[in-house]
Homo-oligomer: A and B are copies of this chain.
Amino acid sequence: MAKSSKIPDPTIERLAQYSRPLEVLLKNGALLILSEKLAELCGVSPAQVRKDLAYFGEFGIRGVGYDIRALLQEIKHILATDREWTLCIVGMGNLGRALVENENFQRRGYNFVAVFDSDPKKIGKTLPCGLTIEPANKIRELIRKLGITIGVISTPPFEAQRVANLLIDSGIKAILNFAPTRIRTPDNCAVENVDFTVKLENLAYHLGKIS
């Protein structure tokens, strides 16, 4: 049963990772998987896999393993990815465009329904995906009209907090931020940051210890 208050944060992150190979296996027609196998595919320990899943219920069959289809469904349900989400992107530069054209998001239920920019030269342009770039001053209106719940920020860092405030003001409850700066949000708005250079610096650190 879901003792929902006490779930470790890393567990949530791993659940998403578990779903990747499960999807592939399911597509390939596999029916069953052992914690040991899934662990290996994800680079974690088998006990970790079992414990992560056990936080939410008993999804396996002792002595047998996990039914792949059922397990995937459970994980998707836990992560609330068994429904459709509507998102918008603010800042349609190189990264924003790469995001909106990537069909991985769509396939997982993350639907971009509006994209914004403040550059007059970009506003009004229609993208290959069919969306037209809207001016930043329509953010509030369109978020409400289209019922957008997740906002993606891919503006330069200096604009990120201003944009975040605008999104929060418009009722957004979750933000994915690609600008390499921390943005502040009230407690009722979740933020996840993606900063590639931090990852690179991690690599550099490890390389530096060798060479």
- In this complex, the member of A80, A150, A173, A211 whose beta carbon has the largest number of chain B beta carbons within 10 angstroms is A80
A-B contact pairs, 7 of them (CB 8 A): A19-B201, A20-B180, A21-B182, A80-B207, A81-B201, A108-B200, A110-B197
CA distance A43 to B209 in the complex (A): 28
A54 shortest CB reach to chain B, Å: 17
Tell me the bound Cα distance from A175 to B203 in angstroms: 8
Q: Given the known A-B contacts A204-B85, A210-B173, are A182 and B42 also in contact in the complex, defined by CB atoms under 8 Å?
A: yes
The CB with the most chain B CB atoms within 10 A, among A95, A182, A204, is that of: A204
A150 near B192 with CB under 8 A, answer no
- Digitize A80-123: 1 where CB-to-B-CB distance is under 8 Å, 0 elsewhere: 11000100000001110111011011001010000000000000
Please state if B203 and A150 are interface contacts (CB–CB under 8 Å).
yes
**Which residues A152-211 have CB closer than 8 A to chain B?**
173-176, 180-182, 188, 190, 192, 194-211
A208 touches B79 (CB 8 A): yes
A162 to B201, CA, bound (A): 25
The smallest beta-carbon distance between A117 and chain B, in angstroms, is 15
Residue pair B41, A182 in contact (C-beta under 8 Å) = yes
Q: Is A31 an interface residue (CB 8 A)?
A: no
Q: Does A149 sit at the interface, judged by CB under 8 A?
A: yes
**Shortest beta-carbon distance, A71 to chain B, in Å?**
15
The answer to whether A104 and B180 touch (CB under 8 A), given A16-B198, A194-B199, is: yes
The B-contacting residues of A in range 1-54, CB under 8 angstroms, are: 4, 12-13, 15-17, 19-21, 41-43
The 3 closest A-B pairs by CB, nearest first: A80-B208, A94-B98, A16-B201
User: Which residues of chain B are within 8 angstroms of A12 by Cβ–Cβ distance?
Assistant: 201-202, 205
Q: Is A131 in contact with chain B by the CB < 8 A criterion?
A: no
Instruction: Please give the distance in Å from A130's CB to the nearest CB on chain B.
Output: 16
The winner among A99, A175, A192, A198 for most chain B CB atoms within 10 A is: A198
In the assembled complex, the Cα of A209 lies from the Cα of B79 at a distance in Å of 9
- Asked if A146 is at the interface (CB within 8 A of a chain B CB), the reply is no
